[in-house]
Amino acid sequence: MSQASRTSSSATRRRRESRRRRPPLWFRSVFLKTLRDYRIAIIGWGVGMGLTIVSPEALAALAAQFAWNADPVKADTVSGYAVFKIGVFVFIACIWPLLAASRTLRGEEERGSLDVLLSAPRSRLAIAVQKVAAMWTALLAIGMVAGLIAYLGGVAFKADFSFADGLLWGLDLALICMVIGGVALLISQFTHERGPAAGATAALLLVFIVVDMVHRVFPGTDWLSRLSPIYYYNLSKPLMFALFGLALLLTGAAAWLFVRRDVGDVVHLPWKLRLTRAPRPSQALPVSDWSLRSVYARSLGMIAMPTFWWTLALAAFAAWMIVAVHQLADKLNALFASAPSSLAVTILQNIGGGGTQLNALLLGAMFELMPVLLMAFAVTQVNRWVADEDDGRLELLLSTPQSRAVVLLGRFAALATATVVVGVVTLATAAVSATIGGV
């Protein structure tokens, strides 16, 4: 064999080995790997939020009846109708960002995967920046998909907005999701687990929605509503730079705290440092604890605290809706008495259960939202099942004489019980509030 052929064969072999050793595109950086993990969420949440906007123009006539929700400015456009339709549904839109942000750093610390990542020559700040950049890129992609579907739906229903309007609405949605994600990321620096961070962020989101509604129910309270980021999202011309600046501030503060604390630990506040005491060692294993008697009991014990906080938040929200209906009844009576509102009355009767009284119609329509909120509670709890499998706890459970069917049915029964408790307590609170308020 000639020297030239041996050289050519050696070069070809080296190129093949180089291509074989080169990692796939999506595993070449923390940013690309994190973005790859979000690929299903981008499609699912983008399509879902876009389909929420797509609706016949007849629903736009109903927007004026819901002044408690958001200002019905040009409800026949994508931005105006989205404000009306997703004013409260922004809670649903922000579920994935708060879950993703709470597990971006804290979740990986729980699993121990962050220790492996930090063993490579990468700084904490670089990892945090790349992960946040991937989450923001995913949110922008979700907004683009939602805006595209909203535009296509508008073309089908001959609505008066352009492709650029649809994309701008998607950008607005992505920015408010970035803000809520920044809140979750910041709170996760003060908790040992991602669950409490996600729950606290969801509670704050409900508070933000209620605070935004205050100025529409009680005149002269605009100053209070301006404290909520939802207020700037709901404007007819959203303050996108304000939302982006707020998201950047919250995320930057979270990254700054993450770099300066110990991995796996929390940020210690001064008062907490003074009151910190060494924990007393446990004298005995809790073998007789009620939650260890079955998979159902253990699952129920694990979701007891989330159930309590979700019940408290939804019950307070239901009571607030009762107050909103009572305050707006006089204003809406005049609207319902006019002839142009006949179509809106018909639609509202179909949504609210076909009642004849205004209060009953409005309450029925508003409480159509409650199953969606209960669904959000169920989704957040089911998300923990996946975490148990990722962390290896499911393998430990299946190593005992428990079949997979028993484990699955036990967890499902516990979640169903918690959901029933949340729904019953919420409806009972609404009934008491209606009785006290005379609605």
Confidence of residue 236 (pLDDT cuts 50, 70, 90): low
Task: For residue 150, give the nearest of 294, 80, 288, 54 by alpha carbon.
Answer: 54
- Put simply, whether the predicted model's pTM sits higher than 0.75 gets the answer no
Among the ranges given (41-55, 182-196, 247-261, 331-345), the one the predictor scored with the smallest mean pLDDT: 331-345
Alpha helices (H) along 75-162: 78-86, 90-93, 95-104, 106-111, 113-118, 124-156
Position 4 pLDDT exceeds 60: no
98 and 184 in contact (C-beta within 8 Å)? yes
Position 185 pLDDT exceeds 90: yes
Instruction: Name the residue with tokens 């920015």.
Output: 175
Position 308 pLDDT exceeds 60: yes
User: What is the distance between the alpha carbons of residues 80 and 66, in angstroms, rounded to a whole number?
Assistant: 13
Structure token digits, residue 3: 């020297």
User: What is the distance between the alpha carbons of residues 69 and 85, in angstroms, rounded to a whole number?
Assistant: 9
Position 85 pLDDT exceeds 50: no
Task: For residue 64, give the nearest of 46, 80, 47 by alpha carbon.
Answer: 80
Position 83 pLDDT exceeds 70: no
Percentage above 70 pLDDT, the chain: 65
CA distances from 78 to 70, 164, 229, 365, 428 (A): 14, 11, 20, 22, 37
Neighbours of 27 (CB within 10 A): 10
User: What is the distance between the alpha carbons of residues 195 and 235, in angstroms, rounded to a whole number?
Assistant: 32
DSSP string, 140-172: HHHHHHHHHHHHHHHHHTT-S--HHHHHHHHHH
